[in-house]
């Protein structure tokens, strides 16, 4: 199915087109979401919201960019919305999530195999994802889309609505920050 046929099918409410959309983009949407929200359950929720939003708003899609760019944009927006709403919750809820019932720090090691993480041990993956979670918002998005989702600088710039030079700068700063975070944690 071509992108044009897919968009037309979605606009016509075709169930097969929606199934094709989900089958084609579910891994990319989930992986992008998990790179930002850092939790498999939340990433699944974001993914469901993304596909609902795509289905509901496909009539407004102007095809000025690729469908995948539009979907990545929706995914990053939804994931960031979730993070923002989480941050605005009561402090007690945050403390409860960070610490278990016995007030012991819990390090959540996601039980997933993210294709962008070529590390052989879950502890290293968890450490990396925890460090990514500490990056400023724009650096986190650029890093997730480029390094974990393998989008080109040009594609990342389209998703983020910024220039390629800005993406290069964000990625450079993200790498520097990750290095500092990981060195501090190890030392």
pLDDT, tens digit only, all 187 positions of the chain? 999 999 999 999 999 999 999 999 999 999 999 999 988 999 999 999 999 999 999 999 988 889 999 999 999 999 999 988 876 554 444 444 444 444 444 444 444 455 555 445 566 777 888 888 899 999 999 999 998 888 999 999 999 999 999 999 999 999 999 999 988 877 6
Q: From residue 79, how far is each of 15, 44, 84 by CA, in Å?
A: 26, 10, 9
Q: What is the length of the chain?
A: 187
Please, what are the domains in the chain?
1-106 (1.10.1740.10), 110-187 (1.10.10.10)
Residue 106 near residue 99, CB atoms below 8 Å = yes
CB-hemisphere CA count at 13 Å for 33? 27
- Percent helix, strand and coil across the chain, each to the nearest 5: 75, 0, 25
Burial class of residue 158 (count of CB atoms within 10 Å of its CB; 0-12, 13-18, 19+): buried
Please say whether the dihedral angle defined by the alpha carbons of residues 42, 43, 46 and 47, taken in this order, is positive or negative. negative
Helix axes 67-87 and 3-11, enclosed angle (nearest 10): 60
């Amino acid at each position: 199915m071509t992108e044009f046929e897919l968009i037309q099918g979605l606009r016509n409410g075709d169930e097969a087109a929606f199934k094709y959309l989900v089958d084609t983009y579910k891994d990319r949407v989930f992986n992008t979401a998990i790179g930002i929200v850092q939790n498999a359950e939340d990433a699944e929720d974001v993914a469901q919201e993304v596909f609902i939003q795509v289905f509901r708003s496909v009539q407004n899609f102007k095809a000025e960019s690729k469908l995948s760019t539009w979907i990545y944009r929706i995914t990053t927006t939804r994931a960031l919305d979730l993070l923002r709403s989480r941050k605005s919750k009561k402090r007690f809820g945050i403390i409860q999530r960070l610490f278990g019932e016995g007030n012991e720090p819990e390090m959540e090691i996601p039980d997933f195999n993210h294709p962008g993480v070529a590390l052989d041990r879950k502890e290293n993956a968890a450490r990396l994802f925890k460090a990514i979670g500490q990056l400023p918002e724009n650096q986190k998005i650029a890093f997730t889309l480029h390094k974990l989702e393998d989008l080109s600088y040009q594609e990342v710039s389209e998703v983020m609505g910024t220039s390629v030079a800005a993406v290069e700068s964000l990625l450079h700063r993200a790498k520097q920050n990750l290095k500092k975070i990981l060195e501090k944690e190890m030392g």
